[in-house]
Amino acid sequence: MQRTFFKQGAEAKLERCTFYGKPCLVKERFRKQYRHAVLDKSLTTQRIKSEVRAMLRCRTNGIKTPTIFMVDMETNSIYMEYVEPSITVREFIADVQQNQAGDCPLLALAEQIGQIIGKAHQSNIIHGDLTTSNMLLAQKFQGDAQSTEKFTPADILQKNIQDLEVVLIDFGLTALEGTPEDKGVDLYVLERALLSTHPNTDHVFEAILMSYKKNNPRGAAEVVKKLDEVRLRGRKRTMVG
Amino acid sequence: MVIAIGFEGSANKLGIGIIKDGVVLSNPRHTYITPPGQGFLPKDTARHHREHALSVLQQALDEAKIKPQDIDVICYTKGPGMGAPLVSTALVARTVAQLWKKPIVAVNHCIGHIEMGRLITGSKNPTVLYVSGGNTQVIAYSERCYRIFGETIDIAVGNCLDRFARVLKLSNDPSPGYNIEQLAKQGQKYLELPYVVKGMDVSFSGLLSFIEEKAPELIEKGEYTPADMCFSLQETVFAMLIEITERAMAHCGSQEVLIVGGVGCNKRLQEMMGVMAEERGATLFATDERFCIDNGAMIAQAGWEMFRSGITTEMKDTTCTQRFRTDEVEVTWRK
């Protein structure tokens, strides 16, 4: 298997290869030299397990994630589908903002994001690292020849947002069986990541929240209440020099 | 040429520093040290600052070899911090500003740390890990604002260390964190502790409750020594801090990392950050206890930057606030 370097993430090395003819991404959690060996081993094992479990649970609940091909606990590697063609939501928002394409595409995207997170939380999946880099936009699967057309990432940007779907990736910090508190923190992490990466997107987060409430009708009220509490804790916590 | 004097008293250190165009002329400091097992209370800390304000000011002027009339701008800490100590220090700044007829600038304490770190280390546009007794934040600059990418969602890392030092009744001289660091060097046996990273945020309160409850029992039984506990605590909380810093660096595509704040002078934290930076091909910038720990020069440096970009504070607005976030300040002095 010929492996080529793809990306150096914060906690893992990503390489590309083909797995029985399919485009594959290998996520290898290498040993972090800065942390104690016992802690490193325990975090790595725990995160690989919860990552794989969460991706499986997502797929059974109608949330798109890459397909897992294989897990190798010896080398701490997960072999998964390489979603192509795709761009990150981060690239998408930056592109929309740069071209001053208006709020429509952003609000349509927010609707989709809210839907996915709503569904995930309803199924007790806490992603734990919701950022715009951890969401991909890919062509919606049509089940016909059209979907096998080869696009480049640039083509994706030209597509109507309705023809694209959000694929959730990087479940390295995921927890299953979450309390409203955990879900609130999950949303808080997204809010902070969104606002710090993309200036002037307060209304986009509001739209995500609206859609979230629609898609998680049973739990949303309590989660949003917790979100407000967490916001308060973060922003108004007594900060002593 | 601009000479700035800075007054810092947001916590238990009273510092007055003088800076002349990026050169530290003087930076004396006096620390309020409480008995082992005790933290510092606002009222007593304010009294300490009032008692030492004039002697430290005189020392700052003498060491810098300048007269009050040579000073161009008075800078003081507006917040965040403890109310009473902040107010008692600001009072001195306001008084000398009126006596000497000089303009005054209100400075955000966290910005002071960042600007001092940038000045001393010469780093251009670093991802900043700001760790102290009251703050734990991962910060990066973009579009006229120091944006907070990650932070603690409950207590600060320094607070966590200080409070554990109280459990072990370690000395507060020179600081509880320093004594934990020294003791941790003898630690051998690693105890797994709750490790809580959520995205780029961290949480320490669960870990603190856990270790506060377990430590006395484990030490009594002889399973772990106090040194082992300090070692395990440091290894765990610092690994959390490095992880969120690395996440922020990966997120921003940053190749520089700067550690500031009182906990930033911990050598083990610097060492771990150095290893992480090297693995990423990035550069670590850190300073020592003179500039990491709260001091007057850092307030002077941030105030100097603000003053040169045209900012002064009206006397009627020279108030203090306990809550003052890093991202509330418009950074007018950087592109």
As given in the structure block, the two tokens for residue B172 are: 């507060």
| Chain centre distance of CA A91 | 14
- A107 and A192, same domain (yes or no): yes
**Terminal CA-CA length for chain A:** 54
Are the Cβ atoms of A238 and B235 closer than 8 angstroms? Answer: no
- Could you give all domains of chain B from N- to C-terminal order, each with its CATH number? 3-113+292-328 (3.30.420.40), 125-289 (3.30.420.40)
pLDDT-based confidence at B46, cuts 50/70/90? Answer: very high
CA distances from A68 to A22, A43, A64, A159, A194 (A): 12, 20, 12, 27, 28
Burial class (CB in 10 A: 0-12, 13-18, 19+), A235: middle
- A97 and A141, same domain (yes or no): yes
Q: What percent of chain B has pLDDT over 70?
A: 100
- A126 and A231, same domain (yes or no): yes
Higher pLDDT, B142 or A81: A81
Rounded to whole angstroms, the Cα distance separating B269 from B274 reads: 8
Rounded to whole angstroms, the Cα distance separating A126 from A147 reads: 30
Which phi and psi (to 5°) does residue B333 adopt?
-100, 0
Is the CB of residue B169 less than 8 Å from the CB of residue B180?
no
User: Residue B30: what pLDDT?
Assistant: 97
Alpha-carbon gap: A104 to the closest alpha carbon of chain B (Å): 25
Residue A219's H or E segment, with its range, is none
A89-93, long-range: CB < 8 A, 24+ apart:
A89/A113, A89/A132, A89/A133, A89/A135, A89/A136, A89/A137, A89/A166, A90/A131, A90/A132, A90/A133, A90/A197, A90/A198, A91/A153, A91/A157, A92/A137, A92/A157, A93/A132, A93/A198, A93/A201, A93/A204
Rounded to whole angstroms, the Cα distance separating B330 from B181 reads: 36
Q: How many CB pairs under 8 A join A and B?
A: 130
Q: How many helices (H) and strands (E) in chain A?
A: 7, 10
| Chain centre distance of CA A202 | 19
Among all residues of chain B, which has the CA nearest to that of A236? B323
- Find residues 29-58 of chain A whose CB sits inside 8 Å of chain B: 32-36, 38-39, 42-43
Among the candidates A13, A47, A81, a domain finishes at A81
- A110 and A186, same domain (yes or no): yes
- Identify the three-state secondary structure at position B60: helix
Residue B283's H or E segment, with its range, is strand B283-286
- A63 and A150, same domain (yes or no): no
List, in sequence order, every residue forming a beta bridge with B30; answer none if it has no partner. Answer: B14
User: Residue A237: what pLDDT?
Assistant: 47
pLDDT digits (tens, 9 = 90+) for B195-252: 999 878 899 999 999 999 999 999 999 999 999 999 999 999 999 999 999 989 988 8
Beta strands in A83-134 (DSSP E): 86-88, 125-126
Are the Cβ atoms of A192 and B200 closer than 8 angstroms? Answer: yes
- A73 and A93, same domain (yes or no): no
Average pLDDT, integer, range B58-80: 97
Among the candidates A39, A66, A81, a domain finishes at A81
What one-character-per-residue DSSP string does A115-126 give? HHHHHHHHTTEE
Within a domain: residue A164?
yes
Instruction: Give catalytic residue positions of A.
Output: 129
User: Residue A192: what pLDDT?
Assistant: 87
Tell me which DSSP letter residue B190 carries.
P
Q: Which residues of B touch A199 (CB under 8 A)?
A: 142-143
Within a domain: residue A17?
yes
pLDDT digits (tens, 9 = 90+) for B173-198: 999 999 999 999 999 999 999 999 98
Within a domain: residue A18?
yes
Q: How many helices (H) and strands (E) in chain B?
A: 10, 13
Q: Go through chain A and tell me how many residues it has.
A: 241
Is the CB of residue A188 less than 8 Å from the CB of residue A130?
no
User: Residue A58: what pLDDT?
Assistant: 95
Within a domain: residue A241?
no
Mutate to test the interface with A, among B251, B273, B280, B320 (most CBs of A within 10 A): B251
Q: Which of A36, A189, A240 sits opposite B199 (nearest CB)?
A: A189
- A107 and A163, same domain (yes or no): yes
Q: How many domains does chain A have?
A: 2
- Which residues in chain A come in under a pLDDT of 70? 1, 142-151, 234-241
Within a domain: residue A161?
yes
Q: What is the CATH number of the domain that holds A53?
A: 3.30.200.20
- A222 and A165, same domain (yes or no): yes
- A119 and A15, same domain (yes or no): no
Within a domain: residue A25?
yes
Are the Cβ atoms of B190 and A185 closer than 8 angstroms? Answer: no
Q: What is the CATH number of the domain that holds A164?
A: 1.10.510.10
Are the Cβ atoms of B135 and A241 closer than 8 angstroms? Answer: yes
Which structural domain range is residue A177 located in?
86-236
User: Residue A146: what pLDDT?
Assistant: 52
Among the candidates A65, A81, A97, a domain finishes at A81
- A11 and A46, same domain (yes or no): yes
The torsion angle over the Cα atoms of residues A139, A142, A146 and A147, rounded to 10 degrees, is: 50
- A94 and A192, same domain (yes or no): yes
Rounded to whole angstroms, the Cα distance separating B50 from B14 reads: 9
Greatest CA span in chain B, whole angstroms? 64
Q: What is the ipTM of this complex?
A: 0.88
Rounded to whole angstroms, the Cα distance separating B68 from B97 reads: 10
- A56 and A129, same domain (yes or no): no
Within a domain: residue A75?
yes
Within a domain: residue A105?
yes
Rounded to whole angstroms, the Cα distance separating B86 from B319 reads: 9
Rounded to whole angstroms, the Cα distance separating B177 from A222 reads: 39
- Identify the three-state secondary structure at position B131: strand
Please state whether the peptide bond connecting residue B174 to the residue before it is cis, i.e. omega within 30 degrees of 0. Answer: yes
